[in-house]
Amino acid sequence: MSTSLWLDGLVIVFFLSLIFWIGLFSSKDGQEKKYDDLTLGGRKMPWWSILGSIIAAETSAGAFLGTPAEGYVLQNYTYLQLALGTILARLIIAFFLSSLSFN
């Protein structure tokens, strides 16, 4: 096995161990957690935090790596305009929806 493969494996094991430790550490507050608290954040999250989470989840490695390459090859900002427009539209929609009362 090459040295870089061992290093990659070590980084992955370290990352997974760190995530596991953070999960264990954050769950030891003595309170019983419900599934809704985990999945919905206790319904106490601000709209901008949810919006950021959705945008981050939709951004894939392909878009992250492919966008600069496409911009370089095409020598334009077409994809950047689409991405910024999408984020701006979501901010406007989230702001207006957060001001509505659904009760």
The helix (run of H) or strand (run of E) holding residue 84 is helix 78-99
Question: Taking residues 6-11, what's their average pLDDT?
Answer: 90
Tell me: do 69 and 97 sit in the same domain: yes
Q: How far is CA 52 from the centre of its chain?
A: 7
**In a shared domain, residues 67 and 96:** yes
* Per-residue confidence band for 33, with pLDDT thresholds at 50, 70 and 90: low
Is there a single domain that holds both residue 52 and residue 88?
Answer: yes
Tell me, yes or no, whether 66 and 93 share the same domain: yes
Q: Which two tokens stand for residue 40?
A: 């919905």
Q: What is the pTM of this model?
A: 0.42
Q: What pLDDT, on the 0 to 100 scale, is given for residue 12? A: 92
Q: Between 22 and 40, whose confidence is greater?
A: 22
pLDDT at 30: 57
> In the chain, what percentage of residues exceed pLDDT 70?
76
Q: What is the DSSP letter of 46?
A: -
Range of the domain at 1: 1-31
> Is 52 found in the same domain as 101?
yes
Do 53 and 103 lie in one domain? The reply is yes
